[in-house]
Amino acid sequence: MVKIMRTTLTLDEDVASTVRNEMKAGNGKSFKDAVNDLIRYGRYFQQSREIVKDRKPFKVRAFDMGLHENLNYDNIAELLDEIEGPPHK
């Protein structure tokens, strides 16, 4: 059984503008549907932030690849030509 709650809602102008934009973008979407969709959208991103917050930080493990004597690392275009050949452009 679905319960529907009817309430009076006072929106700040920026929020009301967002709801109006959602109604226009939704091709005739009602005020009720626009508000519900925006709240669901906000809940989704709140839950996503909580999931990300619980993750361990990503760490890059760097290692020395060494230098090759015949390559010039100061000129990237020349380096790409040497490694990948002229067709890389």
Tally the domains of the chain.
1
The per-residue pLDDT for range 73-87, each reduced to its tens digit, is 788 887 788 778 777
Each residue's pLDDT tens digit, 38-74: 999 888 888 777 776 777 888 899 888 787 777 777 8
In a domain, 20, yes or no: yes
Answer left, alpha or beta for residue 9, where phi above 0 means left and psi between -120 and 50 means alpha.
Answer: beta
Asked whether residue 18 is assigned to any structural domain, the reply reads yes
**Any domain includes 39:** yes
Domain assignment present for 4: no
Token pair 């993750």 is found at 55
Residue 19 lies in domain: 13-53
For residue 58, being part of any structural domain is answered with: no
**Claim: this prediction has a pTM higher than 0.75:** no
